[in-house]
Homo-oligomer: A and B are copies of this chain.
Amino acid sequence: MKEVIDKARILIEALPYIKEFRRRTVVVKIGGAAIDDLELRQRFAEDVVLLTWVGINVVVVHGGGKQVSHMLTRLGLEPSFVGGVRVTDGPTLEVAEMVLGGSLNKELVRLIGSLGGRAAGLTGKDGGLVRAKRLENEPDLGLVGEIVSVDRSVIDRLHPEFIPIIAPLAPGEQGETLNVNADPFAAGLAAALSAEKLVLLTDVSGVADERGELIPSLTREMARDLIERGALGGGMLPKVKHALRALEAGVRKVHIIDGRLEHALLLEIFTKAGVGTQVVGSDAEQE
C-alpha cells in the first residue's frame, strides 16, 4: 500500500507544472535518435498524449533525415549535404515528401492513436498552414525553403481535440513544394502560435560551452555572447540562433534537450531539474 501512496504523491507533485502550462501551447520538434529509435518514439508518443490530457496544446514537428537518406539510397539516389543542410533536387524532394509526409508522419499518428490520443498528421502545405520561399544560399541548395508566413487557422480548428503532427514541407512562391529544416520550421510555428515553450529534442545533452560543460540556462545575452566568441559547434550554432529568433517573436522559453533520454519531454515540463538547456529572455525568467 505504501507503494501506491508513493505513486499518488508523484502524480500530485506534477500539479504546479500542470497548473502553469495547461491551456498553453507547446511546440515540440522531434528528430534524431528520438524518432529513429522505436523505444524512444513510443515514449515520446506517451509523453505527448499525457501532456494533451492535462490540458496542454501540443504541436509536434518532426524531422527524419536518416529515413530520407535511407530511402534515397534504396532508390539509387545519392544523399548530398552542404553545411549540414540537404541539397534537394526534384527526385530528392519527392522522396523526402513520401518519407516525411507519408511514413514517419503517419507512424507518429499511429503511435499516438494506439494510446488513445487523436493526432492529425499534416504538412505545412495542408490547410494553407505555411507559406515559404526558397532559401538563398551559395551554393544553391535546390528545393530548400524558409518560412515566410504562417496561417494558424487549421491548427486552431484541430486544437484541443486533435494533436497536429507536422512534417516540415511547405509551398514555395511558385507553388512548388519546398523542404524546410525542422528546427526553424518548429520555431516559426511556435512564434505564430505565441507558444509558451518551444522544445527541440536533439542528440546531445544540451548547449555546451567551449570546454564542453553543459549550460543549464541561458539568457539571450549569454547566448549572443556564446555565438560571438565562437563557442558553439556547427550543429548547435543554428539551433541557438533559431531559439533566439523564437524568443524575439514572442515564445516564452526555448528548451534544447536530450532526446536520447526516455521521457525527456515529460521530464522537461514536469520536473524542476530540467534536462538540458533552457534559453530565456532575461535573468528574471531563469527560475
Give the interface of A toward B (CB within 8 A): 1, 4-5, 7-16, 18-19, 22, 43, 46-47, 49-50, 53-55, 71, 74-75, 94, 97-103, 105-106, 109-110, 113-116, 118-123, 125-128, 153-154, 157-158, 161-162, 169, 171, 175, 177, 261-263, 266-267, 270-271, 273, 275
Does the CB pair A118–B11 fall under 8 Å? no
Q: State which of B4, B8, B110, B177 has its C-beta within 8 Å of the C-beta of A106.
A: B177
Q: Is the CB of A12 within 8 A of B123?
A: no
Select the residue from A13, A120, A266 with max chain B CB neighbours within 10 A: A120
Contacts of A114 in B (CB 8 A): 171, 175
**In the complex, A253→B270 CA distance in Å?**
32
Distance between A30 CB and nearest chain B CB, rounded to angstroms: 16
CB distance from A204 to the nearest CB of B (A): 16
In the bound complex, what is the Cα–Cα distance between A75 and B70 (angstroms)?
12
Please tell me if the beta carbons of A116 and B15 are within 8 angstroms of each other in the complex: yes
Write the nearest CB–CB distance from A124 to chain B, whole angstroms: 10
Hey, which chain B residues are within 8 Å of A123, CB to CB?
Answer: 106, 109, 121
Nearest B residue to A53 by beta-carbon distance? B18
Residue contact A9 to B263, C-beta cutoff 8 Å: yes
Q: How far apart are A264's CB and chain B's nearest CB, in angstroms?
A: 9
Cβ of A266 and Cβ of B109 under 8 Å apart?
A: no
A109 near B94: Cβ-Cβ < 8 Å: no
30 residue pairs of the A-B complex, CB under 8 angstroms, read A4-B271, A5-B267, A7-B10, A7-B13, A7-B271, A8-B47, A9-B263, A10-B11, A12-B47, A12-B50, A15-B53, A19-B53, A53-B54, A53-B55, A74-B75, A100-B102, A109-B123, A109-B126, A110-B177, A113-B128, A114-B175, A120-B127, A120-B154, A121-B122, A121-B123, A127-B158, A127-B162, A153-B161, A154-B162, A157-B161
